Structure 1
Amino acid sequence: MFGRGVISTIYGHALQAAGHDVEFYVREGRAQQYVDEVVLDLIDARRTPLGRHARHVVPTRLRESFGPGDGFDLVVLSVGHHHLEAASAFLAPRLGDATVLVLGNVWEEPLSAVAPIPASQVVFGFPQAGGGFAEDGILHGAMMRTVILGAAGAAPSSRELAVQDAFRRAGFTISEEKDMRGWLWLHFAADAGMHAQGLRHGGLASMIGDRRAFRDAFLTGRELLPVLEARGVDLRRHRRAMLPHRLPAQTGAVMAWASARFRIAQVSLAAHTDPRAGEPIAVLRDALLEARRLGIPTPRLEATLQDEGVR
């Protein structure tokens, strides 16, 4: 696992519990700052739709270096999209024959975003988990049963199949996405809408139960759909992902109800209390810059960033 953040720790725990040999790469000097285990308070939906709540002590074997001779089969890379370039440059000479699973937001052309890692060694996916570390160091997290994984061709490659198998053995259901590029960009647009409203409301945590905030998030994300079309995305291939943008009021009401009713949704949102953290601001800025580059108006997004003093 590249790093010992929220996503790396949650999925590292799941893979480790399924019998995989898991280690966490951290930057030089960080191993001494961390303890060798994490207390994970997790709502886990792999067995029940609403999630089973349990507390785990997760051993975290840390390392500050690795190289092509270390024999890793898989490197899970889950960082903010604006850190992908630096992380990929670091990883490329150290991978050997390891597969890299990019698990998170991407806004560039996917393979360009992770160059110089060889395209043949990359699998793209997206986590269905979230949460955050509390002041006492406990990680409060929530994890859905499904993991979204891309399949580049008509049939999954051997590397894609190996990644799918690893997650299935850990109790996950695989949602296989043929147009992962389009799906990632649609999710990025949705994130921009959510973070725009988070900026107005003081964080995503403050949006829990607020149907108007969710509606406005989907309306803001909808402004970016022409950006995706201009970049070559066939939106007709993503009817389910498009639904919240086509029915923002109805979906906003459902999301508000779910966020107030279900603990698994609350945990995922509750950790996002700083709307000016690095990733939310980077998402908003990069989405707006691309819309401006293509000459596509995004009045809601523009107004939010202007009102909140984000340049």
Structure 2
Amino acid sequence: MHIAIIGAGLAGLVCAQRLQAQGHSIVVYERDNHVGGRMGTRQTELGGFDHGTQYFTASSERFRKEVAGWQKAGWVLPWQGRLAAIENGKAKPAGHADRHRRFVAVPGMAALGEHLAQGIDVRTGQNIRRVERYGEQWLLAVQSDTVPIDASAGPFDAVIVAAPADLARLLLQPVSTLAERIGEEHLAPCWALILSFEQALDLGYDGAWIKGSRLKWIARDTSKPMRRPGEHWIGHASPEWSEEHLHDDPERVKEKLLRAFHEATGSLVQPVFADVYCWRHAQATSTLPGDCLWDAAARIGACGDWFAAGLDGAGRAENAWLSASALADTAV
């Protein structure tokens, strides 16, 4: 079959890889200019900053085997960072720090998506606005930057939407009852803080969960393996604060989050570089039961990290991988 996949995050790339291995012809469309989705690395003159997904874990046997393969290929390594919990400006070792091994892609989180995209026809900078019926096949309406009329891609025998739930519902609603099953699955935004310091802060930990702050997480990015030397820190604001300040001016957001960083760490050292980035669809706040959605008669479906996939919680790399693998095994 000739199959279109909308979204080149982890779910889309894994699904594409598995379907292509089965002999299908695959084209992946991605609205951003890079692959990997939230597994992103912001490149600057100071080096890379993992401003999206910080790490991933593996609890299921299937995903553990996959991660072992990635590790053997040199794509990922364990991150043995010292983890803490911060409350009222006081840090103590995190009680659940050793529950799962934590892995990171090397030399940056974006590298995993780049590896998975090898050999796949991925077309970046392609914003899919609609999915349309064309007899027994499908066409995709692609936004054009030069003319007001959308371009058309296809026809395809099948379409898989590997996008956040909110976006998947919008694409599926006009053409499939699957949209009703997605319902009002909501994804919370996240403001990310990116910091570089001239000198080491010597905080005694490499990552910390924070209570009672605008920030819910901070990490010393350069504590991860194979990173460029330096004192680089990432902060993630809480979903509630990010939602409330979603449309704020970035400079104002940066000022507030930098103040929260100083309050949480007790450090008054000013960064030599600071920036913020807003992930508008950062974290699934609820899960959809099952692994994926697939309409065999119409040959259209959806996968992503917003499916439970047999796990507790959502929004993890493991959810995305399990969901994409399940759909690839179903859509044949």
Q: TM over 0.5: same fold?
A: no
What TM-score, normalized by structure 1, do the two folds share?
A: 0.27
The structure that is helix-richer by fraction is 1
Relative contact order higher in (CA < 8 Å, ≥ 6 apart): 2
What TM-score, normalized by structure 2, do the two folds share?
A: 0.26
Higher radius of gyration, 1 or 2? 2
